[in-house]
Chain A
Amino acid sequence: MNSGPLLFLGILFTLASSFWGLVLAPQLQIGRQPLRTIEATGQIYPSGRPGLAQEGAEVYRANGCAECHTQQVRPRGFGADFERGWGRRRTVAQDYLHDYPVLLGQLRIGPDLANIGVRETDALKHLKHLFNPKLTAPGSMMPPYRYLFEKRKLKPGQSASPDALPLGNEVEDGHEIRPRPEANALVAYLLSLHSEAPLFEAPLPQTPTNAAPNEATSTNTGPTTSTNTSPTNAATNLLTPVPAK
Chain B
Amino acid sequence: MLLFVSGSFWLILGTVLTLIASIKLHGPGFLADTPWLTLGRVRPAAMNTLLYGFACQTALGILLWLMCRLGRVLLFNAPVIVVGAILWNLGVTAGVVGILAGASTGFPWLEMPRFVAPILFIAYALIGLCAILTFHLRRERELYVSQWYLLAALFWFPWIYSAATLLLLFDPVRGTLQSAVNAWYTNNLLGLWLTPVGLGAAYYFIPKLSNRPLFSREIAIFGFWTLAFFTNWSGLTQLTGGPIPLWMISASFAATVLLLVPLCCVATNFHLTLRGQYREVKENLILRFVVFGAICYLMASLQGIVGGIPQVSEITHFTYFVVAQTHLALFGFFGMVMFGALYYIIPRLTQVDWPRSKLVRVHFLFSAGGITLDVVVLIIGGLIQGSKMNDPGVGFVDLVKSTIPLVGLSTLGLLSMLIGQIAFLGNLYLLLRKFCAVHCKAVLTRPETAKTEANL
| Interface of A toward B, CB cutoff 8 Å | 1-2, 4, 7-8, 10-12, 14-15, 17-19, 21-23, 26-27, 29-33, 61-68, 70, 72, 74-75, 78-80, 83-84, 90-97, 99-111, 133, 137-147, 231-232, 234-235, 237-239
Chain A proximity of B326: nearest CB distance (Å): 10
Provide the bound-state CA to CA distance between A51 and B184, in Å: 32
Return chain B residues, CB-CB under 8 Å to A238: 241, 246, 249
Q: Pick out which of these stretches binds chain A: B56-64, B174-182, B423-431.
A: B174-182
Assess whether B148 is in contact with A107, with CB atoms less than 8 Å apart: no
Q: Pick out which of these stretches binds chain A: B226-234, B292-300, B346-354, B435-443.
A: B226-234
Provide the bound-state CA to CA distance between A95 and B181, in Å: 18
Assess whether A84 is in contact with B232, with CB atoms less than 8 Å apart: no
Assess whether A17 is in contact with B322, with CB atoms less than 8 Å apart: no
Assess whether A106 is in contact with B40, with CB atoms less than 8 Å apart: no
Return chain A residues, CB-CB under 8 Å to B143: 2, 4, 7
Assess whether A141 is in contact with B26, with CB atoms less than 8 Å apart: yes
| Interface of B toward A, CB cutoff 8 Å | 24-26, 28-29, 32-35, 38-41, 43-44, 102-108, 141-143, 148, 151-152, 155-156, 159-160, 163, 167-168, 172-181, 184, 188, 192, 221, 225, 228-229, 232-233, 235-236, 238-239, 241-249, 251-252, 310, 314, 317-320, 322-323, 385, 389-392, 396-398, 400-401, 404
Assess whether B252 is in contact with A61, with CB atoms less than 8 Å apart: no
Q: Which one of B143, B174, B401 has the highest number of Cβ atoms from chain A below 10 Å of its Cβ?
A: B174
Chain B proximity of A4: nearest CB distance (Å): 8
Provide the bound-state CA to CA distance between A95 and B421, in Å: 45
Return chain B residues, CB-CB under 8 Å to A234: 245-247
**Pairs A–B under 8 Å by Cβ, sample size 12:** A17-B232, A19-B163, A23-B180, A31-B174, A68-B40, A91-B243, A94-B175, A104-B179, A143-B28, A147-B38, A234-B246, A239-B310
Which one, B28, B41, B177, contacts A26 given CB within 8 A?
B177
Return chain A residues, CB-CB under 8 Å to B107: 101
Closest 4 CB pairs of A and B: A64-B40, A83-B392, A62-B102, A74-B241
Chain A proximity of B324: nearest CB distance (Å): 12
Looking at chain A's contact residues, is the secondary structure mostly helix, strand, loop, or mixed? loop
Assess whether B246 is in contact with A237, with CB atoms less than 8 Å apart: yes
Provide the bound-state CA to CA distance between A138 and B401, in Å: 12
* 17 extra A-B contacts, CB within 8 A, seeds A10-B228, A23-B163, A104-B179: A14-B225, A21-B233, A27-B177, A63-B40, A72-B241, A72-B243, A74-B242, A78-B310, A90-B243, A92-B243, A93-B175, A103-B106, A107-B318, A141-B26, A141-B397, A141-B401, A239-B241
Return chain A residues, CB-CB under 8 Å to B404: 141
Assess whether A22 is in contact with B248, with CB atoms less than 8 Å apart: yes
Given contacts A2-B141, A18-B233, A238-B241, A23 and B246 within 8 Å (CB-CB)? no
Chain B proximity of A96: nearest CB distance (Å): 4
Assess whether A137 is in contact with B397, with CB atoms less than 8 Å apart: yes
Chain A proximity of B216: nearest CB distance (Å): 14
Chain A residue nearest to B41 (CB atoms) is A64
